[in-house]
Amino acid sequence: MTRPELSEHASPAALPGTPVLEVDDLHVEFRTRSGVVNAVNGVSYSLAAGETLAILGESGSGKSVSAQAIMGILDTPPAVITGGGIWFEGRDLLQQPAEEQRKVRGPGISMIFQDALSSLNPVYSVGYQIGEMFRAHRGMSKKDAKARAVELMDRVRIPAAKSRVNDYPHQFSGGMRQRVMIAMAIALDPRVLIADEPTTALDVTVQAQVMDLLKELQRDTGMGLILITHDLGVVNEVADNVAVMYAGRIVERGTVDDVFSDPAHPYTDGLMGSVPQVEAKGGRLQPIVGQPPNLAAIPSGCPFHPRCARRRLGAAAAPGKDCAADVPPLRLVVPGREAACHYSEEVLGV
């Protein structure tokens, strides 16, 4: 990934179009007793201020692990970042001392976790947990931090915030707990917010409320939003761009309109085909056959080839494009669209 060079004191805001966050050829593996699990295998993407980037893929595709690497919260060991860079406002966080990284993660980059109940500490009030951001990063007193916690609870529309600031997580509904998590994540006005399955286990009405709230906060603050999800409907409503992950790699990238209307990778095509269609009453869903690969034993060639109906093997493949032997690079297929498939032009019909 090519990036503009910044002087030591330059601000990315002074360079038009400079991304707030860049993930550059990131590799993460888990070294276990049973072998090495290759969880993230050369992931690259960028995020601009005010942009919403959705990262799609089945469970086990590496979406959450890549986000945890950005946040510096991987359990090490067994997790090890073996290559790549994570650039925030022109500086590679992986090359910074731990103390400098901590100064960025929170005020600069923040994260909403997918399971609000297990992510909140059951023995502390929600007001105390929200206020901890101000005590730790801004040196505020307990009284002032609590007052800011009430303001944030109001901001994320938790009813009767002043009277509920001393309540505990188990006293809130799932939707309200998720709002508490959002309040904690935006407390320090981050430039980048990572939302990892923010609507998991919530009913449809509450899901819509949570996503509307995130969009409103994004409009108010101009923060970049990375949305990690498998909910294609949510992505279609809120995202600007989308990156599709499979076996720890990005296999397609482009605008949400382009990717959803005309997928360039057979895996993306399969994801779109597995979504129920209102107009197709009485029809059958078209699931992707097989299972995602074991990341400790990723197939050779294209990782998707064992499940791909379009695969070409041996003599049937073009030179250097044997789906079982040759790894397809993520490449520009048509303007504004990248895909990691030897035969994407045929998938698109171009």
* Per-residue pLDDT, 12: 38
Per-position DSSP letters for 138-151, written without gaps between them: H---HHHHHHHHHH
The DSSP annotation for 24-50 comes to EEEEEEEEETTEEEEEEEEEEEEE-TT
Task: Work out the burial of residue 318: count CB atoms within 10 Å of its CB; fewer than 13 is exposed, 13-18 middle, 19 or more buried.
Answer: exposed
Q: How far is CA 240 from CA 25, 85, 305, 347, in A?
A: 22, 24, 29, 23
The mean pLDDT of the chain is 89
User: Cα-atom radius of gyration of the chain, to the nearest Å?
Assistant: 21
Q: Tell me how far apart the alpha carbons of residues 225 and 192 are, in angstroms, rounded to a whole number.
A: 6
pLDDT at 11: 37
The pLDDT of residue 253 is above 60? yes
Residue 18 neighbours by CB under 8 Å, 6+ apart? 3, 4, 12, 90
Contact 164, 130 (CB under 8 A): no
Task: Give 118 or 65, the one with higher predicted confidence.
Answer: 65
pLDDT band at 106 (very low <50, low <70, confident <90, very high): confident
Whole-number Å distance between alpha carbons of 338 and 56: 15
Query: What count of other Cβ atoms lies within 10 Å of the Cβ of residue 14?
Result: 8
Res 27 pLDDT > 90 = yes
- Do 172 and 119 touch, CB atoms closer than 8 A? no
Query: What are the DSSP E strand ranges found in the chain?
Result: 21-32, 35-47, 52-56, 79-88, 91-92, 109-112, 192-196, 224-228, 241-246, 249-255, 331-334, 337-339
Residue 94 tokens read as 């992986």
**Residues 322-347: pLDDT tens digits?**
999 999 999 999 999 999 999 999 88
pLDDT of 84 reads 97
Comparing C-alpha atoms, which of 278, 285, 263, 275 is closest to residue 340? Answer: 263
Q: pLDDT class for 49, splitting at 50, 70, 90? A: very high
Q: Averaged over 182-186, what is the pLDDT?
A: 92
Residue 280: pLDDT band (50, 70, 90) is low
Can you give the residue ranges of every domain in the chain? 118-187, 262-275+298-350
Tens of pLDDT along 286-317? 788 899 999 999 999 999 999 999 999 999 99
